[in-house]
Amino acid sequence: MKYLSLIFFMSLLPQYAGKSLSGDGSHPKTFEDIKNEIAGYSDIAKAIIDLAVHGKAQNRSYERLAVFADTVGPRLSGSKNLDAAIKYMFSALQKDGLENVHLEPVKVPHWERGEEFAMMLEPRNHSVAILGLGSSVATPPEGITAEVIVVASFDELHRRAQEAKGKIVVYNQPFVSYGETVRYRSQGAVEAAKVGAVASLIRSIASFSIDSPHTGWQSYQSGIPRIPTACISVEDAEMMSRMSLRGTKIVVYLKMGARTYPDSPSFNTVAEIVGNKYPEQIVLVSGHLDSWDVGQGAMDDGGGAFISWEALSLIKDLGLRPKRTLRMVLWTGEEQGGVGAEQYYQLHKENISNFDIVMESDEGTFKPSGLAFTGNAKARDIIREIMALLLPINITDVFDNADGTDINYWMRDGVPGASLRDDLSKYFWFHHSQGDTMTVQDPNQMNLCAAVWTVVSYVIADMEEMLPSSNHIRCFENLKGERPEPGVRRGLRCQRMRLKRSIKQIINFLRLRRIRVKRSNKGQQGLEQNYIFHLSFYTKPQGNNLRLHIL
């Protein structure tokens, strides 16, 4: 492996980090050049929109999803249904004529809820609808009968800790937002166990309810007793709260047969349209194929998975082939914390500089309003120009902070990320419940979502230059045993410049801009560390990579 070190002054370089070199060694494109390039995609964008919204592909993503959801049903991590779903999609993607269709093996959690039953015995008999939470332990075979204490917050639970011992804690926390309120689902059992409770029942994390419990993943904490935990409906939580406030004694019988098995083999499902100029560079679109074991998983996240498939299908149908590879990944094990995506990241992160953008749709496919984006200011300006191509369907907004469990690993390391932004007003009515079925989906709205997803992903994949990135990685992470130069601290955060050219081209590029370049094979001890950068090159089979290291 070649290893070449260059030293030059810090004040002269940062403005060029993250930019691509043009093929002839000239200056990078100005933003005006990029705007003009994007405007040139107007006809292609209109063709995509026409095909997806008005043409032969109209309603196709909806119809494909309906057949899939009705045939396979819910797809819990580790279940036979998820295995069947992966086999179904592998076959369907091959029949669609996509390229490099393959499965990448991962391990996912395997939990089953078993039989569940809850009954309020005092002050009257009342059947309590429950859904056990993922990873919950079972009750004893005979079940648990205990008095209930109702609290509205963790603070109230801690204040009343002495009352909670030996009881079932019922949380009746108000729904503020999913991000804020979901902590009661994820941490409720742990906090209840800390004060000696024997079980916890948590008001479903839902903005609206028709006596429907909503499930989800929860986590135990080392050293804290593991107690059974489930969600109950908003209605039952509020009823027990009213009873409790009146001083009425409440007794509940709870029986849960949940079991956790060793992790199971599963797969991320991958298909591509291979780029015709920079095939090693990746624009990734995605959704997750797994779901909870209730409903059909049509909304969460069948819709996101199927508009990602639709993006590749539309591009193929139009006879388009972008410069970069457009890769679709259907994640597995997302509902358990993105375990399939984390393993994908570990497998592919050594090529992180080749990932142009990572996109995930996992908040429904209702009426779209735009795109949420995470990246630097220059990249955001480019995304705004791309979104302007969607003016014919009036979906042009760019929002802050892309959201996606499965793409967070990449965004955390500086790769630009995007997520679909749509009308979430009813999303949590159905989320993780029996109500997540095809009845929730609207074919016209899915058409619009597919058009947005396709236009954005295609244009980014076909532009001459990659998006500007603030891609930070660990120094020497992939040097395959190379020892760091003296004076460079292992583990320092550093910036990888996204340049894929020969070393000679890069040196010429730097010199062209009057950046003083000095070759050195010696350690850099004794240099003024406040003003010096260490620029290192190394070669791999995929090409040369440039890294910028702070001394």
Q: Which helix (H) or strand (E) holds 6?
A: strand 3-9
Estimate the crossing angle of helix 443-462 against helix 377-387, to 10 degrees.
Answer: 130
| Token pair 């086999």: residue | 87
Q: Are 337 and 430 in contact (CB under 8 A)?
A: no
Q: Is 140 exposed, middle or buried (0-12, 13-18, 19+ CB in 10 A)?
A: exposed
For 246-279, letters b (16+ CB in 10 Å) and e give: eeeebebbbbbebeeeebbebbbbbbbbebeebe
- Tokens coding 8: 């030059």
Residue 158: count other Cβ atoms within 10 Å of its Cβ: 13
- Residue 334 designated active-site: yes
Closest CA to 6 of 518, 526, 521, 522: 518
81 contacts: CB under 8 Å, gap ≥ 6: 72, 73, 74, 75, 293
* Residue 100, φ and ψ in degrees, nearest 5: 50, 40
Strand partners, 481: none
Distance (Å) of CA 265 to CA 286, 331, 340: 20, 13, 10
* Residue 518, φ and ψ in degrees, nearest 5: -130, 120
Q: Which strands make up the sheet holding 324-331, listed edge to edge?
A: 99-112, 259-273, 324-331, 278-288, 355-360, 417-422, 368-374, 397-400
Helix ranges restricted to H, 337-435: 339-348, 377-387, 408-412, 427-430
Strand partners, 171: 151, 202
Q: How far is CA 205 from the centre of its chain?
A: 20
Positive/negative CA dihedral, 332, 335, 338, 343: negative
DSSP string covering 519-535: EE-S--TTS-TTTEEEE
The catalytic position among 116, 272, 310, 334 is 334
Q: Are 135 and 143 in contact (CB under 8 A)?
A: no
Tell me the C-alpha distance between 312 and 316, whole Å: 6
Distance (Å) of CA 375 to CA 387, 395, 427, 512: 15, 20, 26, 28
430 contacts: CB under 8 Å, gap ≥ 6: 295, 299, 300, 436, 437, 440
Estimate the crossing angle of helix 60-72 against helix 443-462, to 10 degrees.
Answer: 110
Catalytic residues: 334
